[in-house]
Amino acid sequence: MQEHDPVAAPKAYSGVARSFHWITVAAVFVMVPVGLTMSYRGNTLDLWDDLTNNLYSSHKLLGFLLLWWIVLRLTYRLIHGAPADEPTLEWWQKAGSHLVHWLLYALLLIVPVLGWIGVSLYPALDIFGLFNLPALAAPNEDMAKRVLNIHGWLALSMALLISVHIAAVLYHALIRRDGVFRRMWPRA
Ligand code: HEM
Ligand code: HEM
């Protein structure tokens, strides 16, 4: 979006970039609790009822769709770039935010790919008894457990990084009171 005065009102992310951001946020905010709940019910409580199975199917299907959403988002980002940094930021704030953003993009790709490879190896590709996700690897249960373990730890690392990202946004919005929050807010 083009602003009238680039000093008073720094350029914001485009409507498309903001839609990509907030739909991703909504999906990740569903994926993490569903992942933890289904794995707790299945692995810890050994409760393999309809609810657990439906949570697994929902997690796999939404995660699979989210992967392609992230591929589209990254393609758009690489083609269109981002608005110039908010002009009042210190050099270390610019460097830190770029690092966190690119780490988030990397994890948003790696986490669902490892989930998909894990369920291919298991194999546990079934979605609500209706269809199977395409397999990426031949069955190997030991390897599946290792890959899904890494998937879970990287997902939790991503949740931690997201907390850092949200804390930084709140710092900009409430303490520093600069234009960072407005750049990504839906009504910017
Ligand atoms: C699942 C959670 C989240 C993820 C994965 C995420 C990821 C990202 C990424 C990758 C960027 C960089 C965009 C780019 O330059 O292409 C970004 C920017 C931004 N995000 Fe998030 N975000 C999340 C949650 C949030 C939340 C909850 C807020 C608000 C409270 C927020 C506010 C912002 C803002 C204001 C920017 C723009 C920063 C700037 O101007 O440099 N994000 N986010
Ligand atoms: C960004 C997308 C994703 C996020 C944020 C995510 C997050 C998580 C989390 C937090 C857990 C729980 C880990 C634990 O119990 O410690 C989990 C488990 C799991 N995820 Fe994902 N996941 C994503 C995508 C996927 C995809 C695409 C698949 C498969 C197609 C998948 C398959 C699984 C499976 C099978 C488990 C259970 C592992 C087990 O029972 O030990 N995930 N995920």
Q: Are 183 and 10 in contact (CB under 8 A)?
A: yes
Ligand 2 neighbour 112 (Cβ under 6 A):
yes
Ligand 2 neighbour 35 (Cβ under 6 A):
yes
* CA–CA separation, 18 and 12 (whole Å): 9
Predicted local distance difference test score (pLDDT) of residue 11: 81
DSSP E strands: which ranges in 14-97? none
Q: Are 31 and 70 in contact (CB under 8 A)?
A: no
Index of the ligand 2 atom closest to the CA of residue 36 = 12
Go through the domains of the chain in sequence order and give each one's CATH number.
15-183 (1.20.950.20)
> Which ligand ends up closest to the CA of 183?
1
Predicted local distance difference test score (pLDDT) of residue 188: 55
Ligand 1 neighbour 24 (Cβ under 6 A):
yes
Ligand 2 neighbour 41 (Cβ under 6 A):
no
| Residue pLDDT tens, the chain, 188 long | 444 444 444 489 999 999 999 999 999 999 999 999 999 999 999 999 999 999 999 999 999 999 999 999 999 999 999 999 999 999 999 999 999 999 999 999 999 999 999 999 999 999 999 999 999 999 999 999 999 999 999 999 999 999 999 999 999 999 999 999 999 998 75
Closest residue CA from atom 38 of ligand 2: 148
Ligand 1 neighbour 176 (Cβ under 6 A):
no
Q: Are 59 and 31 in contact (CB under 8 A)?
A: yes
Q: What are phi and psi of 126, to 5 degrees?
A: -70, 135
Q: Are 128 and 54 in contact (CB under 8 A)?
A: yes
Which one-letter amino acid corresponds to residue 180? Answer: V
Mutate to test the pocket of ligand 2, among 151, 158, 161 (most ligand atoms within 8 A of CB): 151
Q: Are 84 and 11 in contact (CB under 8 A)?
A: yes
Q: Are 61 and 79 in contact (CB under 8 A)?
A: no
